[in-house]
Amino acid sequence: MIGTALFFLFAGFAIACAVSMVYQKNPLYSAVSLVGVFVALSCIYVTLAAPFIAVVQILIYAGAIMVLVIFVIMLLNLDEDKPLTRLRYLYAVGGGLGLILLVQTMFIFYAVLRAPKDPVDTSQTAGKSLSIGQAMYTEYLLPVEIVGIMLLMAIIGGVILVRRLEPGQLKLVVDSELDKRHEEEEKDDYRIAF
């Protein structure tokens, strides 16, 4: 009973924040609304006896990613969004995607209604850190490693993209290029001479 009430409270909060995120004209308000969605979702995870996932949700999404987003918005000082006059066809695409999402949701409802009712045992350690760690490093080891390598690639890519060549270094690179060309020219001259 209390669980249901809490669920509707947090779900309502999440939906309200999500709607506000889409409809806000100011990008910063949108970002703050998205944080609200994350917090509400993590509250729902807590009521589902998965504290680890709830905490990680806040730690990573709200605490790290959204802070960076807000950071960028603050730095760029974006203006309020103006309604798009071009790219009208995106409305049709968005509508289509929304329809697909709605059908999917309906299907999930249908599947849940058809599924055999198994009472969830909250004493089971499904959402606890120990079971998650064991599952990650035994059953799902390969996906974890792949994700790790992809993240490493992303980090290296980011570093390379923002790297600025020092003036001295740049000169060195150019100089060595020039030297190479010079040598080749000299070689050519040498051959011609003989």
Partner 1 sequence: MIVAYTVLAERKVLGWIQGRIGPNRVGPWGVLQPFADLLKFILKEDLVPDKSTKFIYFLAPLVALTCALLPIVVYPFGPTITTVDWSFLPYGLGDGITRLPLTIAQIDVGVLFVLAITSVGVYGIALAGWSSNSKYSLMGGLRSSAQMISYELAMGASILGVVMLAGTLDLNGIIYAQITSPFRWFIIPQIIGFVVFLIAAFAETNRVPFDLPEAETELVAGFHTEYSALKFALFFMAEYVNMFTVSVMCVVLFLGGWYVPGLGRIFEPGSIPYAAVSHVAFIGKICAFLFLYIWVRGTLPRFRFDQLMNFGWKFLLPVALGNVILTIIVVYFLNS
Residues that bind partner 1 (CB under 8 A): 26, 28-29, 32, 35, 39, 51-52, 55-56, 58-59, 62-64, 67-68, 70-71, 74-75, 128-129
Comparison of 9 and 32: residue with beta carbon closer to partner 1: 32
Residue 53 CB, nearest approach to partner 1 (Å): 10
Comparison of 159 and 193: residue with beta carbon closer to partner 1: 159
Token pair listed for 142: 């390969």
From the list 57, 59, 67, 64, the residue with the least C-alpha distance to 37 is 57
Residue type, 138: T
**Eight-state DSSP code of residue 58:** I
Comparison of 149 and 174: residue with beta carbon closer to partner 1: 149
Cβ–Cβ under 8 Å, residues 35 and 62 = yes
Comparison of 79 and 189: residue with beta carbon closer to partner 1: 79
Cβ–Cβ under 8 Å, residues 44 and 119 = no
First to last CA, the chain: 98
